[in-house]
Amino acid sequence: MPKKVVTFGEVMMRLSPPGYEKFSQASSFELVYGGGEANVAISCAYLGMKAAHVTRFPDNAIGKAATQFLRKHWLSTEHVIYGGDMMGKYFLEKGAVHRPSEVIYEREGSAFSLIEPSMVNWEEVLKDADWFHWTGITPAISDGAAKCCLDAIKTANKLGIMVSGDINSRDNMWKYGKTMQEVIPGLVKNSDVVITSSRGIREMFGLGKPEDNFKDLAKQLIDFFPNVKKVVKKTRRTLSASHHQIQGKLWNGKKYIKTDMLNITHIIDRVGTGDAFAAGLIYGLLHYKDNEAIDFASAACALKHTVPGDVNIVSLDNVISLMQGDTSGAIKR
């Protein structure tokens, strides 16, 4: 029986100029849908898992089109909520070589930002799940979204479901009167797996010293939140907009594990690569030991750089092949 993951968060319209055009050159925009948590669910579905996403869409043709996008990628949408008028959106100008990408968000007042805890029955949503995943973006959107996320985590705890949080966020996202330092710790303390960075641990929890490395900070985080079992990081070295290197790191309370560095020399699209890493980690921890799980996550992340759009739609075989060291890109016949 395939394992099942449930995710919760906003799905937005992504509008990009064709190819590598700048905004000022564009006379049309390419449209896809994406959102960090939904990206994770879709990636897991392509790896062979059962996957469902909980969100709120406007009750109009755009909301229905976004629902169809999720269904197209094998997600259960039975717990999608409809209401409100506006779909969150963001504009992406893709960088190349030494020119960085640029993102502009328009999500204030979106249908998802107006979600309230009473709209979701988490007991029903999570009754047959093996894993629940959230990110630090969702509780930054609104007080209602933050409360919904906490309800989901507590319900997952009650049902014995593993919980992961990709908690990195940005101060400028928090516009409804609360800070990430006020909200994120309450979500992390009931999570089993935390994906973060050294900076994230320092900024959100006030732990560590500037000279502490990730291993030291991960130890402190687990000491501070005893329910957390694993702390994970994706390290990215940016040589140019087109050439990056990826490495995964994991502290499980006893052992510190690092992957080999994966060299990505011709980036097609780097958006959603962190979500691909999270999805690979979820799949890996459900099917492998920790050292193989972090290798799987890094391989999934690296492959997403080759896929246009927000979502990592590579197969399980693709990830396993790269995880086992096949970097040739040879044709599969």
4-323 fold = UDP-N-acetylmuramoyl-L-alanine:D-glutamate ligase (3.40.1190)
Report how far residue 314's alpha carbon sits from residue 330's, in angstroms, rounded to the nearest whole number: 15
- Spatial separation of the C-alpha atoms in residues 218 and 297, rounded to whole Å: 18
Give the separation between CA 227 and CA 240, rounded to whole angstroms: 39
pLDDT value for 331: 52
The tokens of 67 are what? 């629902």
| Ranges of each domain in the chain | 4-323
Other CB atoms within 10 A of residue 253 CB = 13
- For the purposes of burial, counting CB atoms within 10 Å of the CB of 118, is it exposed (0-12), middle (13-18) or buried (19 or more)? exposed
DSSP SS3 for 273: helix
List the chain residues with pLDDT less than 70: 330-333
Reduced to 3 states, what is the DSSP secondary structure of residue 121? coil
Q: Quick check: 320 and 314 in contact, CB under 8 A?
A: no
pLDDT digits (tens, 9 = 90+) for 175-225: 999 999 999 999 999 999 999 999 999 999 999 998 999 999 999 999 999
Provide the 8-state DSSP code for 25.
G
Structure confidence by residue, pLDDT tens digits, 282-319: 999 999 999 999 999 999 999 999 999 889 999 999 99
DSSP labels, 241-253: TTEEEEEEEEE-S
DSSP label of 272:
T
Q: 223: which 2 tokens?
A: 């000491």
Cβ distance 277 to 298 under 8 Å? yes
Q: Is this structure's pTM higher than 0.85?
A: yes
DSSP string, 154-166: HHHHHHT-EEEEE
Listed in order, strand segments (DSSP E) in 3-77 are 4-8, 12-16, 30-34, 50-54, 56-57
Cα–Cα distance measured from residue 263 to residue 121, given in angstroms and rounded to the nearest whole number: 43
Looking at residue 332, what is its pLDDT?
A: 62
| Residue 45 near residue 169 (C-beta atoms within 8 A) | no
Q: Which structure tokens are listed for 301? A: 């992340």
Neighbours of 5 (CB within 10 A): 29
Q: DSSP secondary structure string, 186-230?
A: HHHTT-SEEE--HHHHHHHH--S-TT--HHHHHHHHHHHSTT--E
The DSSP result for 37-49, as a single string, is: HHHHHHHHHHTT-
The residue type of 90 is: Y
